[in-house]
Amino acid sequence: MLYAIETSGITKRFEEVTAVNNISISVKPGELFGLLGPNGAGKTTLINMLSTMVEPSGGNALVWGHDVVKEADLVRQNIGVVFQDTTLDDRLTGRENLDLHGRLYGLDGKTRKKRTQDVLSLVELTERADFIVKTYSGGMMRRLEIARGLMHHPKVLFLDEPTLGLDPQTRLHIWEYIHKLNKEEGVTILLTTHYMEEADRLCDRIAIIDYGQIVALDTPQDLKNMLGGDVITLGLEDPGDVGRLCSSYQKDGCANIVEGKQNEVFITVNNGERQIPHILALASQAGIPIISVSLRKPTLDDVFIHYTGRAIRDKEVSGMEEVGYKMRSRRK
Amino acid sequence: MNPGRAAQTVYTMWLREMIRFSRSKSRIIGALVTPLFFLIILGTGFSSAFQVRGGGTFDKSYLAPGLIGMSVLFASLMGGVSIIWDREFGFLKEILIAPVSRFFVSLGKAIGGVTTAMIQGILIMIIARLIGVQYVSFWGVLAGICVMFISGIGFIGLGIAIASKIESHEGFQMVMSFLTMPLVLLSGAFFPITNLPGWLKILVYANPLTYGVEALRYFLLGKSTISIWLSIAVLVIFSIAMISLGGKLFGKMRV
């Protein structure tokens, strides 16, 4: 088996919309792969198809070598899924949730006991294990779900927006667990997120997905490099100097792109921090006074804007959605 | 799916229902108090007013099997319909994503729900005995418990079937009031069915709960209007039909 997950032309059409449109990705065993895109881009639908919850309308997908439609049971045996909304039984304790999960996956009593301890300590919930889940905070519930998804030693773990609606500190914690899982236990992980930083920090490779299609796929670094480099912004005292300065950089050839606007000059270069002295030296040679210098490394936000023409946040309804998780769990 | 895994699936789902049941003390008390009020107040009130044809009064003894039937109906319908809550609060996904057969999942859920229904029915039976209802024999009581099991399975199957079809928990309240009240009122739990006008007789005889109540009356009190063999036959057919329907619809259910 070459790939942990392999889809070819997988498509999901609902009545009016095509949620996932002809997506082909290959995820290597042990890889931490990210699907990055705004809400409604089709990330969750893709995960639902790969985890056998929804049948594709076209194309096919193999997860750990098994077809998601024809061999759904074999796929289910090999995957763990952490959905966006809670799927815990909040009348049971954390330990009971894990134990029932172990039973459903056919683990015997001894294995269940040991595994429960292992996964609880991994997500640092051992002390709260015998409390009813209803008393847990949002972050603890998410940790318990991750722990539960790992009970049966899945080969592939799907995480749908694993840190949605969590406070920054808890988010950092969850990132640590995900990283640890992937590097130490070797679990292949496919996660979806609309947090740029999350994708950037965690993932080996990222597919940027928009309107159900992949618009770019590479390592975070290469995605950012594709934009042509870092941007150095120089502020000038006299707007009249902008044209002259621009042409001197163009003549020098140190910059990939040079642009002037009002009293600022934008220079796109590779290795920005090493180029600043040279850039400033050229300016003083030309006798043009510089009043400010700033260096900006491209982010995945810039990559997203580059490929889709808009910022990922434009479509976001984050406030509403983030309270959604807690409200659902509280309504009972 | 091999038999060991199937049994483990059923047991897991049963275990979950039991843990949840043991944590909902207020629900248990509520489920016991209502029939108890009926038994004491209605039983006393009726016995002063009505004579059953062929002798004897329509008293708390006559009401007891009807109330046991009613509480089994409530508990088992609720047990089946609770799938709506599992969907609403997400746990259903956890079950549907597991590498287990949905049929055995719903069977486990059904047996769990029936267990809780039987516990409630038996508690009412004991309370009724304590306030003076006389049962004919020990074997009759055991047979009565079997009747609770069979009719409970039927109503839980019905509940699962309804839950698999209802999209939201808002629709649930409506279904419950349209279903439970007519089923109870038309079952002969609260009146003798010997001398009914034609239209009422048809409705009462079309109601599966009637046969549950009549079978309980036969086994607990030694007398019934409908022949015990007919009651048992109807209950068994009803239960098999409903649990098959429930299992089938649950298998097709989407989250």
> A14 — phi, psi (to 5°)?
-100, 175
Give the fold, CATH level 3, of A228-297.
Alpha-Beta Plaits (3.30.70)
CA distance B57 to B52: 5
What's the whole-number mean pLDDT along residues A231-242?
A: 88
The reply to whether A324 touches chain B by the CB within 8 Å rule is no
Interval A108-126 mean pLDDT: 93
Q: Which residue intervals of chain B are DSSP H helices?
A: 3-23, 25-37, 43-47, 60-81, 83-88, 91-96, 102-130, 138-165, 169-185, 198-205, 208-221, 228-252
pLDDT at A205 over 60: yes
Across residues A190-218, what is the average pLDDT?
92
- pLDDT over 90 percentage in chain A: 51
Q: A5-224 with A228-297: one CATH topology? A: no
Structural domain range at position B145: 3-252
Any residues with CB less than 8 A from the CB of B47 and at least 6 apart, and which? B57, B58, B59, B60
Q: What digits encode the pLDDT tens for the residues A70-85?
A: 999 999 999 999 998 8
Residue closest to B169 by CA, chosen among B87, B69, B53 = B87
Tokens of B189: 């739990």
Q: Which token pair is B74?
A: 């409530």
The domain limits of chain A are 5-224, 228-297
Fold topology of A5-224: Rossmann fold (3.40.50)
Q: Hey, is the C-beta of B5 within 8 angstroms of any chain A C-beta?
A: yes
Residue A40 DSSP label: T
Tens digits of residue pLDDT in A293-305: 999 888 888 888 8
Q: Is residue A67 classed as helix, strand or coil in its secondary structure?
A: strand
On whether any CB of chain A is under 8 Å from the CB of B165, the answer is no
Chain A residues inside the 8 Å CB shell of B168: none
In percent, the amount of chain A with pLDDT more than 70 equals: 94
How confident is the model at residue A1, as a pLDDT? Answer: 79
Please say if the pLDDT value at position A328 is more than 70.
no
Touching check for A111 and chain B: CB below 8 Å?
Answer: no
pLDDT recorded at residue A157: 95
Q: pLDDT value at position B255?
A: 62
Coil, strand or helix at A22: strand
> For B191, phi and psi rounded to 5 degrees?
-150, 155
3-state helix, strand, coil in chain A (%, to 5): 45, 25, 30
Could you give the number of structural domains in chain B?
A: 1
**Residue A170 pLDDT more than 90?**
no
Alpha-carbon span B121 to B132, nearest angstrom: 17
Q: Which residues in chain A are contacts of B100 at CB distance < 8 A?
A: 104
Question: What confidence tens digit (pLDDT) does each residue in B142-182 have?
Answer: 999 999 999 999 999 999 998 888 877 777 777 778 888 89
Contact A264, A245 (CB under 8 A): no
pLDDT confidence of residue B58: 66
Q: Which stretches of chain B score pLDDT less than 50?
A: none
Q: For residue range A239-248, list pLDDT tens digits in order.
A: 888 888 888 8
